[in-house]
Amino acid sequence: MIRDRGKIKWTSMMLPEHVKLLHGWAEQDTFEKKGEPDEQQLELMNETIAEAMEFRKTVTITHYRDRRHELVIGTIHYWDEMTRKLHIVDRVDTFHRLQLADIVDVQFTDD
């Protein structure tokens, strides 16, 4: 069986600039693409947000931050019309301010 050392055997022949570019390229491969919700999804998210605010229901919000999708589970505390941000209080009483344009999905959480 041939034991190939992969990239290790070629690293000594590369310039440091090339190695740095390869590391950056590998990191960019892990970035997630931001999906744009269609009109029907936006309407459904709007209804879910309105109902969650009115009845203080717990929601799971998927949002896009730093080239990754993140989840926030909590209740919607406030909607700031001026900055277009949702203020959310999670289960450990931490405040999150999410830009409306970064929100990908909103669903009710089963408690």
For 2-40, how does the pLDDT look when each residue is reduced to its tens digit (9 = 90+)? 666 666 666 667 778 877 887 777 777 777 777 788 899
**49 pLDDT exceeds 90?**
yes
pLDDT in tens, 63-107: 998 888 899 999 999 899 999 999 999 989 999 999 989 999 999
For position 92, what pLDDT does the model report?
A: 92
**Which CATH number does the domain 39-108 belong to among 2.30.30.100, 3.30.1330.10, 2.40.128.20, 3.40.50.300?**
2.30.30.100
Do residues 74 and 88 make contact, with C-beta atoms less than 8 angstroms apart? yes
Do residues 71 and 61 make contact, with C-beta atoms less than 8 angstroms apart? yes
Distance CA 104, CA 111 (A): 22
